[in-house]
Amino acid sequence: MQHFCIFFFILFTVQAAQNIETVNKAVPYLKQFGYMTANTTLSEAVSSFQKQAGLSQTGELNEATIKMMSVPRCGSGKQEEILRGVYQGSRWAIRNLTYNITDYPKKLEVGKVNEAIRLAFNQWARISDFTFTKVNGDAHISIGFKLHPKTFPNLAGTAKYPVFGGDIEFNGDSKWSTDIVTPHSEHILNLFQIAVHEIGHSLGLLHSSYPDSIMTPFFTQGVNGHIHPSDRRKLRKLYNISNTSKSDLPKRNYTMESVCNLTKIDAIIAYSETLVYVFNEDKYWMLSAWTDDITFDMAAYPKKISDTWKGLPATIDSAFVGVDNATYFFKGSQCWKFLYGENTVAAGFPKSIGDEFPGIPNDIDAVLDTQENKTYFFKGSKYWGFMINEIPEVNEDYPKSISLWNHELTAIDAAIYFMSEIYFFKDMDYYRYEEKHNTALIRKFPRPTALWWFNC
């Protein structure tokens, strides 16, 4: 009996260790690809993954689930976006796009790579009125093989949506095949088939939970590079392409108070990817970025700033949302703070800007909070960096010239850190900066704010 008990104790211990190891491997994966957040349990995250992967939604890390996590996949997008079908409003304003290939994978002929990419673009050209032309210089879409994912080696590729530039990167460490009819194997990925998928993102489509869709994030042997009817419908809806005529961006009749008629914005803030506010003079508009298209509720907006945020002056100079979702508004020498969800001024406010943010001048033009305890304040051609947990909060090497960000700008009207990107607004144009290149202007900018942000 004693030996019998020891046997089961050892068996239980081994199984428990295996379970812990499985969880330790699964959790980083679930976090990396957006299934697990601070507000979800492990079981909920696993269930979301299983739903996207077409598995039974048990919420358990069973054998089929673990196996699916080892399948080569795309790194674009987040799983929350799946049911929305398309990345609404993120679309190209033109139909004649150029692309270049900045580097090539090892052990593949350049000509065969070029042909596989060309055929992948042609798949999308066949169902739309897009044209795609390969060029050697600057292009709308850059394609490369610079990904070297150490933590997730099965990450085959990733692409940015149009609003972020549309560039595509493939895993430079993977083994690739340029044979368009050969399906993926355990060790070799089909470049043509995965390129069709990534180009879909570059045109604005999200991942699909439909297993036969080219936009499924998992590159299994069943993925063949053919564009599924559901993908075709989504693209044509996104670009308003009819079956009988060329596409045209939606045209709307706007009132004089429409956000589309603005000549500048005073501030732009975001509480989430789905809740964005734009301010001009004494009014503001709310942008719901995930509706059927990016649009404003013209019946409800604009609204008066002081009617919603009680205690504010009629107009503001700038505003930002901090890491705790508290909102700061600035006007002249004063600032106002509103706690998240509150429409009345926080206790002790308004305060002088110098008291709340020592070292920061009055009459601020724009504020940029990077969500990392560092906030930038812009005034005229200068800017200041404010560190919350340091003394002094503003280093002695400030102010600095705004030309360090972009030599073309001498001042900005507004700024925002949104979806891990930095945006500057001047007049009715905007500039985007990648977080890792925060001192270098990213190509293809400026762009018109009304078109890309307001769907005008």
Model-wide pTM > 0.85:
no
On whether 428 is known to bind a ligand per the annotation, the reply is no
Looking at the chain, how many residues does it have? 456
Kindly indicate the confidence band of residue 347, based on its pLDDT and cuts at 50, 70 and 90. Answer: very high
Residue 249 lies in a domain: no
On whether 266 is known to bind a ligand per the annotation, the reply is yes
How many structural domains comprise the chain?
Answer: 3
Per annotation, catalytic residue among 198, 281, 342, 396: 198
Buried b (16+ CB within 10 A) or exposed e, 355-382: ebbebbeeebbbbbbeeeeebbbbbeeb
Does residue 189 share a domain with residue 120? yes
CATH code assigned at 25: 1.10.101
pLDDT at 130 over 90: yes
Does residue 421 share a domain with residue 274? yes
Q: Which amino acid is at 173?
A: D
On whether 319 is known to bind a ligand per the annotation, the reply is yes
CATH code assigned at 179: 3.40.390.10
Residue 251 lies in a domain: no
| Chain segment 77-112, per-residue pLDDT in tens | 653 443 344 444 477 878 899 999 999 988 889 999
Whether 198 is a known active-site residue: answer: yes
On whether 456 is known to bind a ligand per the annotation, the reply is no
On whether 157 is known to bind a ligand per the annotation, the reply is yes
Does residue 84 share a domain with residue 20? no
Residue 293 lies in a domain: yes
Domain span including residue 12:
2-70
Q: Can you name the residues that pair with 369 across neighbouring β-strands? A: 375
Of the given ranges (200-204, 392-396, 441-445), which has the lowest mean pLDDT?
441-445
On whether 187 is known to bind a ligand per the annotation, the reply is no
Tokens 């999200």 locate to 206
Evaluate whether 280 touches 262 at the Cβ level (below 8 Å).
yes
